[in-house]
Amino acid sequence: MSLSEFEQDQWFAACPKGLEALLAAELASLGATATRETVAGVYFSGPVALAYRACLWSRLANRVLLPIARLAAADSDSLYRALQAVDWAALFGPEQSFAIDFSGENRQIRNTQFGAQRSKDAIVDWFADQLGRRPAVARKDPDIRINIRLGGEQAVLSLDFSGGSLHQRGYRLGGGAAPLKENLAAAILLRADWPGIAARGGALIDPMCGSGTLLLEGAMMVADIAPGLGRQRFGFEHWRGHNEPQWRAIVADARGRAERGRGRTLPEIRGYDADPRIVRTAEENIARIGLEKVVRVGVRPLAELTRPSHVPLPLGLLVCNPPYGERLGEKAQLRGLYHQLGAVMVREFRGWSAAVFTSDLDLGKAIGLRSHKRYALWNGALAAHLLLFDLVDNELRGPPDQPVTTATAGEPAGVAPAELSGGAHMFANRIRKNRKRLASWLKREQIECYRLYDADMPEYAVAVDMYGQRVCVAEYQAPQGIDPQAAARRLAEIHAALPAALGIAAGAIVYKQRRRQRGAGQYEKQDDRGELFSVSEGRARLLVNLQDYLDTGLFLDHRPLRKRLGQEAAGADFLNLFCYTGAATVHAALGGARSTTSVDMSNTYLAWLRKNLAHNKLDERTNITVRANCLQWMPQAQGRYDLILLDPPSFSNSSAMAESFDIQRDHPGLLRAAMTLLRPGGVLYFSNNRRGFKLEPVLAQEFLCEDITPTTLDPDFQRNPRIHCCWSVRHCERN
């Protein structure tokens, strides 16, 4: 059987179900003729150059196939004989590897694996008989892919021109728990008329952007970037009929168009997500395709989403693929999220268009807005729906059925009751309970910065810290094995519960993720807002920053130790090693210290300390700051001190240090060096937050060491007594 059974200009492009009409129009725009739609694909005609362009430029196709022959395949023997009749040497040689994609079954061939194995045998045997050499079979990255589609008693044999699904553009190495395929994302944007909106000057925003697929597909469209430019290889490159000069010319043209497209003024394209981990993945994907100047993403929960205001954006497309409930109970919890999405759409994006992709129409209805168009699409084997909204005159309908509210008597005025899921309601109740438990202590001690919640319920693994009327929520890094979707859902419940439970605006709450820091990680900026605001702690006024860094500038668990230092500092020379932002220095200075010396190797934190000194009207002539590595500075220090705070990091491998530092391994030498600077009769307080830390027993023989950890924990940290450990250390008295 020769290659002439099919016309040389006949092709087949496969696609997800529901995209056939879009794909036919796309192929026609590339120059295809005689397009004919069928289920999950389009037949079309054109020269080989057209097939090359389809592989490079199709945003919708999964594969481009070159049909070779129609085979008799009533059973495995007839399939074998038909494959033996093909002139395989016209396609590839025995020095190349191949793989077979086999689909379909009939009464005799009831297993695709068996069909693929029998087909492989026929091809290998043909080469052995005709050329005396057998090509290798490679499941991963073969030179040639053969596609065999069985239907009834016939099979269609095709060469896979694409060499793997075309949705794999090459820019995405990682995604969320259920990443949206790139060609489906492109279809969503085309159905929502993103190219038309962009041509009219509109913007693109995804409020739940995940790994950024919708944003990147939208950016590639407006920047005229061929979706296949980032792929490493195509299936036709080892085909013996391949026209390499023609292919190079097509690629060169595409690269030129992409370069010109990146140089144009492009629309505003932004994405947000509540999960810092997945936003980092999106940033990596954006960088991989070189669109950092076009696509910007950030960590922001849905409740805090606002329309960008740095430029007028009267027109745009809000597009997203929200989570959907797979298990019992999840759907009910997500109704509030979808309704919140609807509220954000009408509040912030009046006059825009919106597109929401969901597999659950009931959740789509929970948005509370009227959709003017709905498309049926398929996400793999899952039936899904694309809902389009015109936000010009669309009004938000009532909330989802059976809302759970958190409104209670006595809540601050002006805070609207929030409709919460059962889990969010439970979390809100715990927040209220903790606040009530701490209320009398907070009032008596006049404390405005404190920890309100610290993973009290393990499934809601966050720390909630109060800074006056502002809140910092730190999500603990989930252990491996935790379902990312479940973790994201619980975080969304926290976002929903906190404003009403605390009686504050959602915009006053900042969300971060805590993870183990290496090197200078704790010094690195997370944002660039530069917003410092003042809080009170006893006599001290301290500046904190909730946005820009992982830490805020004030370690709340050390509050009792700072108070002790202030009480003991009168007339003393105080040394603060690893001083951070100098909160302890401020307390000592206000407590009457004769002098303070603060040492740290971070310019950022020393500048912050100087601002704290100025904020408390403290003179820098007697409150000295030193930029140095404490380990190197102590052996050379000339002064002696009556009161020392030694609060080093648990671990550091900063590039500013010659060797790594580990508190458990290195604390004996560190403590001995610090004690050489302590005057007789003085006291050194040694603290660290290494879990499981053990003080080296020999130190208790050299110095008077007393574990004072219990006395350095206020009520807001007594639930987690391992937050830090602390010793007072003095010189032994000599007779």
pLDDT at 643: 98
∠ CA 216-219-221, rounded to 5°: 110
Q: Which of 361, 390, 419 is the last residue of a domain?
A: 390
Show Cβ contacts of residue 111 under 8 Å, excluding neighbours closer than 6 positions: 105
Whichever domain contains 472, its CATH number is 3.30.750.80
pLDDT score of 716 more than 80: yes
| 272 plus 381 within the same structural domain | yes
Flag whether pLDDT at 345 surpasses 70.
Answer: yes
Closest CA to 472 of 579, 582, 556: 556
Q: What is the mean pLDDT of residues 126-152?
A: 94
* 320 and 466 housed in the same domain: no
pLDDT band for 65, please (50, 70, 90 cuts).
Answer: very high
In a domain, 232, yes or no: no
pLDDT of residue 492: 86
- Please say which residue of 359, 390, 421 terminates a domain: 390
Same domain, 306 and 381: yes
Between residues 315 and 530, which one has the greater pLDDT? 315
Judged by average pLDDT, the poorest of 215-229, 344-358, 388-402, 676-690 is 388-402
In this predicted structure, the answer to whether residue 8 has a pLDDT above a threshold of 70 is no
Kindly give the pairing relationship between strand 651-652 and strand 661-662.
Answer: antiparallel
The dihedral over CA atoms of 695, 700, 703, 707, expressed in degrees to the nearest 10, equals 60
Task: Calculate mean pLDDT across residues 290-297.
Answer: 92
Q: What is the pLDDT of residues 449-475, one digit of tens each?
A: 999 999 898 888 899 999 988 899 998
243 domain residue, yes or no: no
Q: 492 phi and psi, to 5 degrees?
A: -65, -35
**Percent over 70 (pLDDT), the chain:** 90
pLDDT of residue 649 exceeding 60: yes
- Contact 629/553 with Cβ under 8 angstroms? no
pLDDT at 282 over 50: yes
Distance CA 223, CA 215 (A): 12
The 10s digit of each residue's pLDDT in 435-455 is 999 999 998 998 999 999 998
Amino acid identity for residue 157 in this structure: L
Residue 502 is which amino acid?
Answer: L
Are 466 and 577 found together in one domain? no
Closest CA to 484 of 174, 270, 217: 174
Q: Are residues 613 and 687 in the same domain?
A: yes
Continuous segment of H or E residues that includes residue 494: helix 484-502
Q: How far is CA 227 from CA 20, 170, 248, 513, 590, in A?
A: 18, 9, 16, 33, 63
**87, 2 Cβ separation under 8 angstroms:** yes
pLDDT at 416: 38
In-domain check, residue 229:
no
| Per-residue model confidence (pLDDT) at position 337 | 86
* Residue 276: pLDDT band with limits 50, 70, 90: confident
Q: Give the tokens for residue 550.
A: 């992982």
Backbone φ and ψ of 219, nearest 5° = -65, -40
Q: Are residues 100 and 186 in the same domain?
A: no
**In this structure, are 7 and 122 located in the same domain?**
yes
CA distance readout (Å), 220 to 166, 388, 494, 719:
15, 22, 35, 51
Helix (H) or strand (E) holding 282: helix 276-289
- Write the single-letter amino acid at 517: Q
Mean pLDDT confidence for 169-187: 78
Question: What are the φ and ψ backbone dihedral angles of 418, each rounded to 5 degrees?
Answer: -105, 140
pLDDT at 423: 83
How many domains are there within the chain?
4
CB count in 10 Å sphere of residue 701: 9
Residue 332 sits in a domain whose CATH number is 3.40.50.150
Does residue 227 belong to any structural domain of this protein?
no
The rounded radius of gyration (Å) of the Cα atoms in the chain is 33
Give yes or no: residues 362 and 326 share one domain. Answer: yes
Domain of residue 668: give its range. 533-731
351-404: pLDDT as tens digits: 999 999 998 888 999 999 999 999 999 887 788 999 999 998 888 886 554 333
Non-local (6+) Cβ contacts of 9 within 8 A are 45, 46, 47
Sign of CA dihedral 121, 122, 127, 129: positive
Residues 194 and 326 in one domain: yes
Q: Are residues 410 and 385 in the same domain?
A: no
Strand, helix or coil for residue 277 = helix
For the residues 279-293, what does the mean pLDDT come to? 91
* Mean per-residue pLDDT, 224-238: 94
Partners of 13 in the β-ladder: 42, 64
CATH of the domain at 29: 3.30.2130.30
Measured CA distances, 372 to 356, 390, 441, 558 (Å): 12, 7, 56, 57
pLDDT: which is higher, 254 or 520? 254
Is residue 338 in some structural domain? yes
User: How large is the average pLDDT for residues 171-195?
Assistant: 83
Exposure of 664 in the CB half-sphere (CA atoms within 13 A): 6
What are φ and ψ of residue 287, in 5° steps?
A: -65, -35
Dihedrals φ, ψ of 192, to 5°?
Answer: -85, 5
Angle in degrees, 0-180, between the axes of helices 276-289 and 213-222, rounded to the nearest 10 = 30
β-bridge pairing 144-151 and 154-160: antiparallel
Q: What pLDDT sits at residue 523? A: 41
Q: 237 lies in a domain?
A: no
Judge if 51 and 195 occupy the same domain. Answer: no
User: 241 in a domain, yes or no?
Assistant: no
Q: Is residue 140 part of a domain?
A: yes
Ranking 111-125, 524-538, 673-687 by mean pLDDT, the lowest is: 524-538
402-411 pLDDT tens trace = 333 333 323 3
Q: How far apart are CA 421 and CA 323, in angstroms?
A: 15
pLDDT tops 90 at residue 622:
yes
731 by Cβ neighbours in 10 Å (0-12 / 13-18 / 19+) ranks as: middle
- Answer yes or no: are the C-beta atoms of 605 and 594 closer than 8 Å: no
Q: How far apart are CA 177 and CA 363, in angstroms?
A: 19
Share of the chain above pLDDT 90, in %: 66
Alpha-carbon distance of 679 to 81, in angstroms, equals 96
Interval 694-708: pLDDT, tens: 999 999 999 999 999
pLDDT number for residue 734: 57
- pLDDT reading at 556 higher than 60: yes
Judged by phi (left if over 0) then psi (alpha if -120 to 50, else beta), residue 209 lies in alpha
| Pair 372, 441 in one domain | no
CA distance 205 to 270: 5
pLDDT at 410 (0 to 100)? 30
Asked whether the predicted pLDDT for residue 341 surpasses 90, the reply is yes
| Average pLDDT value over all residues in the chain | 88
* Of 481 and 443, more confident: 443
